[in-house]
Amino acid sequence: MRVLSVLSLILGLATFPSFAQQAADTTAPESASPATAQPDGPVTAKKWMISAANPLAAKAGARILREGGTAADAAIAVQAVLGLVEPQSSGLGGGAFVIYYDAKSGKLTTLDGRETAPMDATPRLFQDDQGEPLKFFEAVVGGRSVGVPGTPKLLEEIYKRWGKTEWKSLFDDAIALSTHGFAVSPRLEKLVAKDAKRLVIDPLASAYFLPGGKPLEVGNILVNPAYTESLTALATGGSAAFYTGDIAAAIVEKIRGAVDNPGVMRKADLATYEVKEREPVCVPYRGNDICGMGPPSSGALTVGQILGMLAPFDLAALGPDDPASWQLIGDASRLAFADRGRYMADSDYVPLPVKGLVDPAYLATRSALLQPGLRLEEAKPGTPKWDHAGLLADDEAIELPSTSHFSIIDQFGNALSMTTTIENGFGSRLMVAGFLLNNELTDFSFRSHRNGVPIANRVEPGKRPRSSMSPTIVMKDGKPSFLIGSPGGSRIITYVAKTIIAKIDWGMNVQQAIALPHVVNRFGTFDLEKGTKAESMATELEAMGYKTKVRDLNSGLHGIVVSEDGLEGGADPRREGVVIGE
Ligand code: DON
């Protein structure tokens, strides 16, 4: 963020509080950062707002919002640009979840555009001949890990439900950028350099990210004619142009033809893909309803469990500088992650006690295990009330960085919170038609059973891998009051819970809440954010008996607060995000 602020100054662009951004120049290569929050100060606005992980993507969304489009329209424009300028994180080859508040009906809807396992996938997909789990990257790189993408159909679905602007025009900015070029960002340069040895496996990925054998450099102007063609097909033919026809054929050929690690996807898997509407999961917390994505995401359930367990404790009195706050948050997270590992998966395939897991009486029993200042010895799964009977073993799944989150409010009061991903940075490393294919299937447990007992999140044909993505809308008195979400693998859950606590309990503005250093505990060890004051928690947490580890904690939180005073937006200083509003 600081870097971007400086960049903005150099480029002579306004940064704070908010300003009217010119419509995108559709002929020139673009690199400018349009607006960004200051380290401590949010961007403010009255009518509409967008917070997203890349300035060019935010700018495309802002144009749609300024011209009278809805949050759904803007999301389509944002995703189309993100797939180009942040190709390692999300795109047409991936999946996403959306939570949408429709101001007219007052209804909150969650849509599941998660990838599915092909019908020929079996629980042994990520096991060797002896039934032992493959190493993570052996599974990721190649065709085996690719799930049927959900993002193109999800974009069409949100448009059908809530779109207003002409569909075709929503792709204009992305098409202009892929045709005329955009400047490679510092983050893209860094990530390409780090991943060069894997990107070489695919000729198209290699030619695009390592032209002439050299990794892309910041400021290089990158054009992507294949992406222009794919977007044009989507703009003119709708999602059918993606799920059937030339693009679908190219996807299947690439996956099945991957030299070392072919996958089993067929054209029929693509042609039958469906977005699913799910029941939003809402959990009360200090007079608010924390609403988000239910299964196959573990996001809203786990965030809700953490907050529900913390409700009896006076975190406001303890404050963010007291390690006792983090000890309670950390142990609540450990208990929630224990339930997540045991119970959470695609509820279309496994009986899942959704209501039981966030039932206030159950959370009270879990909360009673927490003691201020005293480390919880062992975090075991609990026994929530079952909707159905079931017996499951604890899960095993590995997740690593990419993904993007954006939040949007339009001038009509509609609100959208969307987390979008191709899973690992650069996904499966296979490129088709100008975009990367996901490796989302490695979000399944590689083991299918433990001591003969099945694992809920095992691979099954047509199933959706468990996610941690937590696009959230906090509701207050029936209206959206806070939109938030993040990338970060399973740490997403802890980033989102922390940001909600920082806002609600510690009274921080959205930018402070996002920037607040991360102190994360999922499985016993506290991760303390490197280079921040979180490091100073180590001594006291270790004295309580915890292990600690100082490390980068690369969230990408993008949030908007809605109040009677207007809109207040924050963007994560750990990435390249910006807020634009009017
Ligand atoms: O759905 C999930 O939970 C993961 N595939 C998200 C991956 C992710 O956030 C990587 N993060 N930086």
CA of 490, closest atom in ligand 1: 3
What distance in angstroms lies between residue 343's CA and the mean position of ligand 1's atoms? Answer: 19
Residue ranges of the domains in the chain? 2-181+223-277+397-576
Q: Which of 398, 403, 466, 555 gets mutated to test ligand 1 (max ligand atoms within 8 A of its CB)?
A: 403
Mean pLDDT, the chain, rounded, equals 92
- Token reading at 504: 């609600």
Helices 360-367, 299-310: axis angle to 10 degrees equals 60
Give the residue with greater pLDDT, 35 vs 14. Answer: 35
- The pLDDT score that the predictor gives to residue 401 is 57
Closest among 389, 275, 281, 289 to 343, alpha carbons compared: 389
What distance in angstroms lies between residue 387's CA and the mean position of ligand 1's atoms? Answer: 28
For the chain, the C-alpha Rg in angstroms (whole number) is 22
Give the residue with greater pLDDT, 394 vs 244. Answer: 244
What distance in angstroms lies between residue 467's CA and the mean position of ligand 1's atoms? Answer: 7
Q: CATH number of the domain at 2-181+223-277+397-576, please? A: 3.60.20.40
Q: Is the CB of 468 under 6 A from ligand 1?
A: yes
Q: Is the CB of 467 under 6 A from ligand 1?
A: yes
pLDDT surpasses 80 at 24: no
Q: Is the CB of 86 under 6 A from ligand 1?
A: no
| Interval 55-99: pLDDT, tens | 999 999 999 999 999 999 999 999 999 999 999 999 999 999 999
Residue nearest atom 8 of ligand 1, based on CA coordinates: 489
| Interval 104-130: pLDDT, tens | 999 999 999 999 999 999 999 999 999
DSSP lists the bridge partners of residue 551 as: 529
- The pLDDT score that the predictor gives to residue 399 is 47
| Interval 441-480: pLDDT, tens | 999 999 999 988 999 999 999 999 999 999 999 999 999 9
What sign for the dihedral angle of Cα 461, 257, 196, 406? negative
Confidence of residue 33 (pLDDT cuts 50, 70, 90): very low
Residue corresponding to tokens 């052996």: 138
Q: Is the CB of 191 under 6 A from ligand 1?
A: no
What sign for the dihedral angle of Cα 161, 171, 489, 423? positive
- The pLDDT score that the predictor gives to residue 9 is 27
What distance in angstroms lies between residue 468's CA and the mean position of ligand 1's atoms? Answer: 7
pLDDT surpasses 60 at 27: no
- The pLDDT score that the predictor gives to residue 19 is 25
- The pLDDT score that the predictor gives to residue 8 is 33
- The pLDDT score that the predictor gives to residue 548 is 98
Q: Is the CB of 511 under 6 A from ligand 1?
A: no
Report how far residue 519's alpha carbon sits from residue 514's, in angstroms, rounded to the nearest whole number.
13
Confidence of residue 41 (pLDDT cuts 50, 70, 90): confident
Residue corresponding to tokens 């062992």: 378
Residue nearest atom 2 of ligand 1, based on CA coordinates: 467
What distance in angstroms lies between residue 417's CA and the mean position of ligand 1's atoms? Answer: 16
CA of 423, closest atom in ligand 1: 5
pTM confidence score: 0.93
CA of 400, closest atom in ligand 1: 10
Q: Among residues of the chain, what percentage have pLDDT more than 90?
A: 89
- Mean pLDDT on 342-348: 95
pLDDT surpasses 50 at 20: no
Cα-based distances in Å from 308 to 114, 256, 279, 319: 26, 45, 19, 18
What distance in angstroms lies between residue 166's CA and the mean position of ligand 1's atoms? Answer: 31
What distance in angstroms lies between residue 424's CA and the mean position of ligand 1's atoms? Answer: 7
Closest among 157, 161, 155, 185 to 61, alpha carbons compared: 155
Residue nearest atom 10 of ligand 1, based on CA coordinates: 401
- The pLDDT score that the predictor gives to residue 396 is 57
pLDDT surpasses 90 at 363: yes
Residue corresponding to tokens 């997403």: 492
Are the CB atoms for 560 and 568 separated by under 8 Å? yes
Cα-based distances in Å from 238 to 94, 159, 405: 17, 11, 24
Residue 89, φ and ψ in degrees, nearest 5 = -105, -45
Confidence of residue 7 (pLDDT cuts 50, 70, 90): very low
Amino acid, res. 453: V
CA of 299, closest atom in ligand 1: 3
Are the CB atoms for 452 and 131 separated by under 8 Å? no
- The pLDDT score that the predictor gives to residue 275 is 98
Report how far residue 337's alpha carbon sits from residue 396's, in angstroms, rounded to the nearest whole number.
12
Q: Is the CB of 399 under 6 A from ligand 1?
A: yes
- The pLDDT score that the predictor gives to residue 402 is 82
Report how far residue 214's alpha carbon sits from residue 217's, in angstroms, rounded to the nearest whole number.
9
- Token reading at 471: 């696009």
Residue 173, φ and ψ in degrees, nearest 5 = -65, -40
Confidence of residue 393 (pLDDT cuts 50, 70, 90): confident
Report how far residue 518's alpha carbon sits from residue 495's, in angstroms, rounded to the nearest whole number.
7
Cα 282–chain centre separation: 18
Confidence of residue 38 (pLDDT cuts 50, 70, 90): low
Report how far residue 235's alpha carbon sits from residue 166's, in angstroms, rounded to the nearest whole number.
10
Q: Which of 136, 191, 469 gets mutated to test ligand 1 (max ligand atoms within 8 A of its CB)?
A: 469
Q: Is the CB of 492 under 6 A from ligand 1?
A: yes
Residue nearest atom 5 of ligand 1, based on CA coordinates: 423
Residue nearest atom 1 of ligand 1, based on CA coordinates: 467
Report how far residue 244's alpha carbon sits from residue 96's, in angstroms, rounded to the nearest whole number.
20
- The pLDDT score that the predictor gives to residue 385 is 85
Lowest mean pLDDT of 241-245, 382-386, 496-500, name the range: 382-386
Report how far residue 423's alpha carbon sits from residue 428's, in angstroms, rounded to the nearest whole number.
9
- The pLDDT score that the predictor gives to residue 394 is 72
Which residue numbers are catalytic? 403
- Mean pLDDT on 251-268: 96
- Mean pLDDT on 425-444: 97
